[in-house]
Structure 1
Amino acid sequence: MATHLKNLSDFSHTTIPSAKGYRFGIVTAQWNADVTGALYKGAYDLLLKQGANPEDILSVLVPGSYELISGADLLLSKQNLDAVICLGCVIQGETPHFDYICNAVANGIANVSIKHAKPVIFGVLTTLNQDQAMDRAGGKHGNKGDEAAATAILMVELEKNL
């Protein structure tokens, strides 16, 4: 979690293993594209930095954060992947729509992970405003895309070692 005390992209507390030989899906919401594009770049670049081959990273776009659920499910149903990273951004507005979408996306992503017995990573920003989103998409709080990719690698490695 990003706070004034922690940068999302600080991995000094853990060692991220190699991503070489693993296959990843990245599902990115097109809504709030300036934010989700930065999240995608963070995730993709970290996978490469940790040794993933570009050919082993399958990237798809979906219209919005709600569609991350079916995007992840489709990827895992049709591709041989070790993990899927879901990247989106929901910014609170004036109606309760924010609450419904955030809850549905969180539960839906968890259900896809359980259904396929594969790591499906929640890299969705749920912020009060655009500034908070940008702060977490490469700004002063780091990049949640980096965090999501690191989590995917760590979970795939956990599965391998069990």
Structure 2
Amino acid sequence: MPLTPLDIHNKEFGRRIRGYDEDEVNEFLDQVIKDYESVIRENKELQNQMFTLQERLDHFVNIEESLSKTIIVAQEAADDVKSNAKKESQLILKEAEKNADRIVNESLSKSRKIAMEVEELKKQASIYRTRFRTLVEAQLELLSMDGWDSLESREEVKELL
């Protein structure tokens, strides 16, 4: 058990012949009591400061742990968002490629259909020109005849048409 200033103050020493000077011993003990009280007071103040600093340190350690956890959670969330965005972009890209393929295939199909229609129209135009030429030639032949009296030639023109 530690020594208290009261213990020092109440301490009595036995007397002997040729002992120490009592007043000198009492003065020294008074000085020891003062210094010891000062040391005890300083020790209490330092303990209080240490307790306050320990509380602050604990507070900052808690904040650091919270920030660390928050950073980890934020990093995980960012990684999840990044991963999801990458997956979504791949899906969008695949969908766009499918749409592009579909559009190209439709365009090719339409161009083939139009090319076939153009060929058909060319054939019909050629047939029409041939018939029209025949008709015009028949009409010119009819006009070049001297007389309009022959009805037989007219019937031949009708057959040509």
Higher-strand-fraction structure? 1
**What TM-score, normalized to structure 2?**
0.15
TM-score relative to the length of structure 1:
0.15
Larger Rg: 2
Tell me: higher relative CO, structure 1 or 2? Use CA pairs within 8 A at least 6 residues apart. 1
